[in-house]
Each structure stands twice: as C-alpha cells, then as structure tokens.
Chain A
Amino acid sequence: MLPKSDLDFIRNEMNREPNLVEQGCFLNLWSEHCSYRSSAPLLKTFTTSGENVIIGPGDDAAIVRFDEERVIAIGMESHNHPSYVDPYNGAATGVGGIVRDIVSMGARPIALMDPLYFGELKVQKNLYLFEHVIEGISNYGNCIGVPVIRGETLFHNSYSGNPLVNVVCIGLAQKDNIVTATAKSAGNKLVLIGASTGRDGLGGASFASKDLCHDSEASDRPSVQIGDPYTEKLLIEATLECISKGIVKSCRDLGAAGLAGASSEMASKGDLGVHIVANDVVQREADMTPYEILISESQERMLIEVEPEDVNTIIDIATKYDLNSSLIGNITEEKLFKVEYNNEIVAEIPIKLLTEGATIFERKASEIKHTTNYEKPDAPNNIKNSILDVLSAHTIASKKWIYSQYDHEVQIRTVAKPGDDAGVIRIGDKGLVTSCGCNPIHTYFDPYSGGYGTVIENAMNIAMKGAKGLAIVDCLNFGSPEIPEIYWQLKQAILGLGDAARDLSIPVVGGNVSLYNQSEEHNTSIIPTPSIGLVGITENLDILPNSFFVDDEDIIILIGETKDEMRGSEYYRALDAESTGKSPTVPKDISELIDGIVNLINAGLVSSSKDISNGGLATTLCEMCQLKGAKVDLSHVNSTLKFDEILFSESYGRAIITTSNPLKVKKELDSNSIPYLEIGIVCGKSLNISHFKKQVSIEIEEIQSALNSLTDYVALE
C-alpha cells in the first residue's frame, strides 16, 4: 500500500481519491527503485556532464562520444533481490534488462561486465546461489550473443542471503542513429513489440498485487520475472532494424513498473501526455486486470513511438522476427496519463505528478566510528605459505570457472581476455578499455576513501592498457537507508566516488541504486558496495602491454608508494585481523600518476603491466608469473615496513610494469615526479622474492595451483 503521507499528498494534488489502479501506478513509479527517493539528493552531487557526454543520466542509458561518427551507450543495473529468490532467472533477467536499455537507445550491445558478490562458499546455500547466478548470466548472455568481457567476484559473509548481481552493458551506435526515450509529438502512435504481457514480475518494483486486485492467487506468484533469451535476441534485431529505418521517434524498454513506467516516462519527458488502451496489449493469460497489464514486468518488450503512417512498418518488422506487436495507444497534447479499458477510463493522472511528483528527501545520517586497533597481528613464520594462502582465497583466485562459461569471444572484438586487469574490445583500429567493481571491505572501514579508491582502482586498471577514463556508471548497493549509519555509508561513499571522478575529470553518466540489501534469514546486512563500471579509449592496439611477464631480462619496476595500510586487506582477513591497522589511502597526485603511466604505455615502452590491488604486491607479482618467473628484491620499498607488510599492503595508486628500456622509462617517471623503484628482472620459471636476508621462492606451478582454488572447489564439489 502507498504510505499515508504519499496518499494524502496525491489526494491533495488530484483533488480526489485516486482509484486502485491509479494508486498502484503511484506505488510502483514512486518506489525507491524507480524514483531514487532517498538517494536522489546525494546523487545530485555527481558531475554528470563533460565534453564527451552526449546524453547523461535520466534516459535508458547514457551516450558518450567514441569518435566523430560513433558513440558508446553505457548503463549499469543490479538484480540483487530477484537473484536471491531465483538465482537463475534473477541473474538472467538482470542481463536482459540492461541490454534492452542499450538497444532502446539505438545501440547494438557489444559487451557486458558483471561484478558479483557472494557469501562464503562453504555455506551450502551460497554455493547454490553462486552456481545458478553464473548459469543464468551465461545462458542469457551467450544466447543473445553479447560477450561478457570482464567481471569481479568477491566473497564475504555479509552477502550471505544477499548476493549482489550487478551488470554493465556497453553498446555501439552511429551518432546519427541515437534514439531517446523522449516522446516527440502529440498524435504519434505507441507500438508495443516483443513478448506477450503476463502476470510474471507483477509489481517487481514494489509489492505483490494482492491488496489492490483482490486476487487470492497473486501472493503465491513469484515477483521474479522469467527470461527468454531467444525472444530477447529477436527483439534486439527487430528494434535495431526499426531504428535503422529512421522512423522511430522515441523508444523505451519495459522494465521496472512495466508499461505504466515506460509510457508515462516517455510522454512526460516530451512534455506530453499518453492515452493507453489496455485491451490492445497482447496478453499471455486470460482475465488480466488493467492494473496487471500496466505494471506487469514481463520481459523482452519494447515500446516504440512512430508517426501513424509508420505503424505498419514496425508491425511488419516484428512479424519478420515472429514477435508480437500491437498498437496500444497514442501520444497526446493533454498532459495526462490516461488508461482506457473496456471503453472506460480506468486511470487519469496528471503526468508530471506520476513521473516527477514523488517527494525526495535526505535521510538522517550517523557516522560509524570503528574502534581502531593498531596492534599488529603476529606475522606467520612461513611467508611462502602466507602468499599461497592469499592467492588461494576465493576472492583472489582465478575466476576461470566463471568466465569460461561466458562466451567472451562472440562478435570478434575481444582483444584482452577475461582474467586481465581490464577488458579491451576493438572498435575499428582503436580499443575500448573497460573495468568494473569496487572494494567493499575498504569501503566498510572508511566509506569515503573506499568510494574514492573504487574510482582510482578502476582507473588504474584501464591505465594498464593505455586508457584514461571516459565515463563512469555506478551501482550503489547498500543496506537499509532507514538506518542512519547505513545512510551515512551511502552518503560518504557517494561523496568519495564523486570527488575521485572529478579529480580524474571523468563524468558519472548513469547508474542505479539498490538499497535494503539485508537478510533476515542470515541476519546480515551487506557491507557497502559502491560498484562502478568505467570505460576509456586506447588508440593503439598494437602496443598493448601483456598482464604477465613475457620477455626474459626485462626490468621490473614498482610504481607508487607502499604504505602501512593493512586494514581490510586480504592478508589480514586470512589472519582474522581485518579490522586492524590503517585503511588504504589514495596518494594526492594520483591524477598525474595515472597520466604518467598512460603516457609510458602509449609510448610503447612497457612490455607488461599490472595494477596492485586486493592481495597486494605479492599477489600481483605471482599473477604476472604465468609464462616466466622473476627475481625481485623488495629491501628498499619502504624501510619502515616489515616484509609481510610490503608484500600485502593494499595502498592505492600502485602498479608493476616491465620494460626493456629502463633508462627511458625512469627518465619519463622522474620528469613526472612519479615515485618508483626498480625491483628486479624477469627470468626463469619461478618467482624469487628477497627482503634483506629473507628469501622466498615459488614455482610457477605452485602459483597456478593456488590460483586454481576456486575452480577446484566448485568443479570438485
């Protein structure tokens, strides 16, 4: 039911009691999910514009310039709650939804990225969720032929009962072909194409329909939508074919709040109204009520505005692809959301009240003061075992079991394969470089630095392929905003993200907020997870560095400063001391540091490069030893740190690069005042690390076997 305050407000604005259909529309459109009611004031702090931004937040997806003719469409979504109730379909339809957001802009989807967060796999239910979420993404993404080129998967017990399934979709369009969701003229027709409309996903944006529809069965029906990737693939082709004819005036995917959401938002954006005839919607089930027709979240549907004479062209194209299509209404001068059913008007709402009327408000925020313990845990005697333990932690280990289930090669653009720091897909002779994710544990201990660090970490990833950030999309996954401490986390993380994006001059062009990620079953609330997707452009694909050592005798250089910042590190997690010590920070001159690395790479001076993040320097060095080993001396990294701290600190703004031309590289780094240290040489078939008198030697096979822990765990389970 609508909260009393909302109902009073609506009654007052409409000068009458809204009927049940109208109330249901408000309930769905004014939900947190659709209206960002408590996050909007915070999201306003993002800088969303820039010279390359063509369409920022507010449409189905953002559009940024790629070159003179081509643009990139980008969007990010979460499908967290559905993925807990029904992991296979929840994750699958998460992919489907964001893909349609890209298609409705006139762009062909060319890549997906999926940041995923699960509870520890030793809990049986988590293993089940993990397996089926991956299968859902795999089946849907593979079938529609869009490669998943990168992801991130992190395990932490706060996600028990709250797996997070975030998806980024990237599309490619000709600049002249972009379509928006802004309705153009009164008198134009609305054609709904795609799947039929059923009772699945009823009120996914808000609630079960029982109270409003007096339907006793409704409460038993899942509010999780069921995906059909085959229909989605047909819908992608049909929609793009319609758009390529130049007759589509506006277009919107039917997502949250169904037809009510899509039609009212299109009309409202164009300062127009809409008249829907609910009977004309192709229905999957008998006796659907107008309310069900309006808010059904049945998947794989698209709403298209055309001039009256072009209706048949749309219907012909839909028929070619064996899709349903019907003329369901028209755009009106009168700024009303009007719905007709059985020749009666069943809803008539001032359109701006429905789409923009929800009051937004900032909630109470209370700072969380974590008790800080600076007493360091005892370092284990056997440092080699510590390294192998960290490598085999599921969060650090190779995600090959996951990404080998995704068709990451389809569309023949994938230059850098999954498992690399950044995804690289070719577009013409240039590359689009992509990264996604965040560090929730850092964010938990220090939400502002965690938010800031999230942008930096992703920017470092794409810098490893010679790209600077072009645009950010975000997906802010948090617990209940009604808890002041959680609202504070949200606020701080957003401020951190926004400041970092500004410091690197990257606009935040779109995103999604997912709140209330808490579970009664497991008595958990997630740690703050401000995940982002970042894209950039690299000009020269021929000089992309590898992410592992390739040439014997190359010199290994550590860039950045390693500090005593162990809190929340993977190493301290392994020692059960994750709350100990100082949180990782970002160096002040990070923007210059990133520019410096990008310049080195674009000058063709770098043979391999890898950013240092979760698991620290030790992890990065190990991961680079796939074909070749190395000999490394860490005695002079930081004289105030112990060996294990140097190996496992998670300070931001660091990377390993190798070069055959150290003189030139050092000169460049010196001239840009970037801190660095030559630490060793590529050689042999093992990784040999020394720190004064201490020495560790690890064979490549030992590293690979530790990194294989996740695959072994799941495949053998």
Chain B
Amino acid sequence: MKIAIIQFGGSNCDMDVLHIFKDILNVNAELVWYKNKDLSGYDGVVLPGGFSYGDYLRSGAIASRTPIMDSVKKIANEGKPVLGICNGFQILTEASLLDGALMTNSYPKFICDWTYLKVENNNTIFTSRFNEGEVIKIPVAHKEGNYYNTPERLNELNNNHQVAFRYVNQKGHLTNESNPNGSVENIAGITNSKGNVLGLMPHPERAAESILGSKDGLKLFLSMVDYFSNE
C-alpha cells in the first residue's frame, strides 16, 4: 500500500500526518506537491490540515478547483480511501466529494482546544478500530468548522449512517457546551455514501501519541492500515 499526502501551498499538517504513517505505523506514505497531478500508483489519499491558499476566498475553495482534485475524485470513485482532516474536510466539501458546508464558527474566532467525540459509525474504513458509541479525545483547531446541511440532507446522512463523529461531553452526551463551533447536530465528521471518503474537523494526528495528551486518534489510522491489510 502507498498513501499520498497532498501538499497545497499553505498546507501545514502534512509533515504531522507523514510522521504518523511513517514513523509510528511504518506505512509507505509520501508527500505529493499539488502541481504533480498524477496519483496513479497510490492506494489512498490524505488531504491534511492547514490554510491552502491562505484560506483566501473561502477555506478550501481554491484548492478544491486545482487539477490534482480531479485525480483525488478518480481515487474516490474507485472506492479507495480518501481522508480529509480540517482544511482537508473543507476542501472535500468544496469539491462536492462530501455533502454540506463548513461555515465560520458560531463564536467567530479561531478555536484550538481539546474535544470529546462520539464514534457514531464504526463500520467504515476509518473507524473499524473504534467501538460504536466510544468516546474519544481529539483536539480541534479551526475558524471555519461549523458544519451545516439542510434538514432533508441531514436526514439522509443519518439514515445512511454517514455521520462518523459528533462532539459530546466526556460522558458521551450531546450538549451545546461540548460543541466547539456550532455545528448542526454536533457533527464533527461525515463520510460519503459509500463510506470511503471521510472528512472531519478534529485532528486525529495530534492525538496519536500519549505524550501529546491522547492516543485515541491513532485508531483512525490503524483502521486504515487494517483495511489495506485485509484487502
């Protein structure tokens, strides 16, 4: 297996994700500069966090229209895993690979803080190592993470089990206080209908080593590794 970590100008979590795959999981992963459009030969793609194009226009809007995204869409259509973290999630919604939009936080400031998430669906490529309903601790860092969708589409997402993570309190309850950005239904991460594309605002790569405060995020990457080894 070989994973491509796409670097746009302004990506800044690219090296962090690379560290998890290479140094911790011993998985073959490479940084790919966005001007290299060819993603053939890769089995999965990560769109890391950061500020692609400085968040100018709208977070993720410009990156989503770069030619490399055609290759990312191809990979997604082939059913291979595509993971978007933070700015990566924003790019995936802008590219219509995921449904909905990420608006400015309800308290309109950047927020970097630890959050608790409830795993809503452990039956995906990215969540198989979690238990359903498990409460995990992962930090967020964004200014535009306020997930929105229409009631009809939310119904669809819920019925199709596309909501992967929701913000909760430590005890696992959905509360307003535990929602860091005002996301509708406390949604922190969703998949596409096939389940092979996941976008989430929290940063699992920042919660993959206990010295940094939590190891819960590592299970997301381990789930991907399991998927490839079982394939």
A residues sitting closer than 8 Å to B (CB atoms) are 135, 138-139, 142-145, 228-231, 233-234, 320-322, 403-412, 414-415, 417, 426, 541-542, 715
Chain A residues with CB below 8 A from B1, complex form: none
Q: Which of B55, B110, B113 has the most CB of A within 10 A?
A: B110
Apart from the given pairs A145-B12, A412-B205, 19 other A-B contacts in the complex at a CB distance below 8 Å: A135-B109, A139-B110, A143-B12, A143-B54, A144-B12, A145-B51, A230-B10, A230-B54, A233-B12, A404-B109, A404-B111, A405-B112, A406-B112, A407-B141, A409-B206, A409-B212, A410-B49, A412-B19, A412-B212
Given contacts A138-B110, A410-B12, contact A233 B35 (CB under 8 A): no
For the complex, give the distance between the alpha carbons of A234 and B208 in Å.
27
Given contacts A138-B110, A405-B111, A414-B212, contact A229 B51 (CB under 8 A): yes
Q: Is B224 an interface residue (CB 8 A)?
A: no
**A405 x B12 contact (CB < 8 A):** no
> Taking CB as reference atom, which chain A residue is nearest B113?
A404
**A412 x B9 contact (CB < 8 A):** no
**A410 x B141 contact (CB < 8 A):** yes
For the complex, give the distance between the alpha carbons of A415 and B211 in Å.
6
Question: Which 3 residue pairs of A and B lie closest in terms of their CB atoms, listed nearest first?
Answer: A145-B12, A230-B54, A143-B51
**B15 x A411 contact (CB < 8 A):** yes
**A320 x B35 contact (CB < 8 A):** yes
Smallest CB–CB gap between B47 and chain A, Å?
15
Of B50, B51, B112, which contacts A408 at CB under 8 A? B112
Interface residues on B, range: 20 to 34
Of A142, A233, A409, A542, which contacts B139 at CB under 8 A? A409
Chain B residues with CB below 8 A from A145, complex form: 12-13, 50-51
**A322 x B9 contact (CB < 8 A):** yes
Can you sample 13 A-B contacts with CB below 8 Å?
A145-B12, A230-B54, A233-B12, A234-B9, A404-B112, A405-B109, A405-B111, A405-B112, A409-B141, A410-B13, A410-B206, A412-B16, A412-B205
Q: Is B80 an interface residue (CB 8 A)?
A: no
Q: Is B203 an interface residue (CB 8 A)?
A: yes
Interface SS of chain B:
mixed
Considering only residues 22-47 of chain B, those with a C-beta below 8 Å from chain A are 33, 35
For the complex, give the distance between the alpha carbons of A407 and B140 in Å.
9
For the complex, give the distance between the alpha carbons of A54 and B5 in Å.
36
Of A144, A412, A417, which contacts B209 at CB under 8 A? A412
For the complex, give the distance between the alpha carbons of A580 and B46 in Å.
61
> Taking CB as reference atom, which chain B residue is nearest A145?
B12
For the complex, give the distance between the alpha carbons of A417 and B113 in Å.
10
Given contacts A414-B212, A417-B213, contact A230 B56 (CB under 8 A): yes
Of A321, A411, A415, which contacts B9 at CB under 8 A? A321
Chain B residues with CB below 8 A from A408, complex form: 112
Smallest CB–CB gap between A141 and chain B, Å?
10
**A405 x B16 contact (CB < 8 A):** no
**A541 x B211 contact (CB < 8 A):** yes
B residues sitting closer than 8 Å to A (CB atoms) are 9-10, 12-13, 15-16, 19, 33, 35, 49-51, 53-56, 107, 109-113, 139, 141, 203, 205-206, 208-209, 211-213
**B112 x A233 contact (CB < 8 A):** no
Chain A residues with CB below 8 A from B110, complex form: 138-139, 142, 404-407
> Taking CB as reference atom, which chain B residue is nearest A141?
B110
Q: Which of B54, B55, B205, B213 has the most CB of A within 10 A?
A: B54
Chain A residues with CB below 8 A from B213, complex form: 417
Smallest CB–CB gap between B214 and chain A, Å?
11
For the complex, give the distance between the alpha carbons of A399 and B144 in Å.
22
Chain A residues with CB below 8 A from B113, complex form: 404
Q: Which of A135, A404, A412, A417 has the most CB of B within 10 A?
A: A412
For the complex, give the distance between the alpha carbons of A139 and B54 in Å.
10
Chain B residues with CB below 8 A from A321, complex form: 9
**B111 x A233 contact (CB < 8 A):** no
> Taking CB as reference atom, which chain B residue is nearest A715?
B107
Smallest CB–CB gap between B63 and chain A, Å?
12
Q: Which of A234, A409, A415, A426 has the most CB of B within 10 A?
A: A409
For the complex, give the distance between the alpha carbons of A138 and B56 in Å.
16
Of A234, A403, A415, which contacts B212 at CB under 8 A? A415
For the complex, give the distance between the alpha carbons of A142 and B212 in Å.
19
For the complex, give the distance between the alpha carbons of A277 and B15 in Å.
39
> Taking CB as reference atom, which chain B residue is nearest A144?
B12
For the complex, give the distance between the alpha carbons of A409 and B85 in Å.
14
**B112 x A409 contact (CB < 8 A):** yes
Smallest CB–CB gap between A486 and chain B, Å?
37
For the complex, give the distance between the alpha carbons of A135 and B110 in Å.
9
**B9 x A229 contact (CB < 8 A):** no
Chain B residues with CB below 8 A from A410, complex form: 12-13, 16, 49, 141, 206
For the complex, give the distance between the alpha carbons of A406 and B110 in Å.
7
Chain A residues with CB below 8 A from B205, complex form: 412
Given contacts A143-B51, A412-B209, contact A407 B112 (CB under 8 A): yes
Smallest CB–CB gap between B73 and chain A, Å?
24
For the complex, give the distance between the alpha carbons of A710 and B210 in Å.
31
Chain A residues with CB below 8 A from B107, complex form: 715
Smallest CB–CB gap between B8 and chain A, Å?
10
> Taking CB as reference atom, which chain B residue is nearest A429?
B211
Chain A residues with CB below 8 A from B141, complex form: 142, 407, 409-410
For the complex, give the distance between the alpha carbons of A234 and B19 in Å.
21
For the complex, give the distance between the alpha carbons of A414 and B211 in Å.
9
Given contacts A145-B12, A404-B113, A409-B139, contact A228 B54 (CB under 8 A): yes
Chain B residues with CB below 8 A from A144, complex form: 12
**B54 x A229 contact (CB < 8 A):** yes
For the complex, give the distance between the alpha carbons of A306 and B112 in Å.
41
> Taking CB as reference atom, which chain B residue is nearest A412?
B16
Chain B residues with CB below 8 A from A407, complex form: 110, 112, 141
For the complex, give the distance between the alpha carbons of A417 and B213 in Å.
9
Chain B residues with CB below 8 A from A143, complex form: 10, 12, 51, 54-55
**B54 x A409 contact (CB < 8 A):** no
For the complex, give the distance between the alpha carbons of A145 and B113 in Å.
16
Smallest CB–CB gap between A701 and chain B, Å?
15
Chain A residues with CB below 8 A from B208, complex form: 412
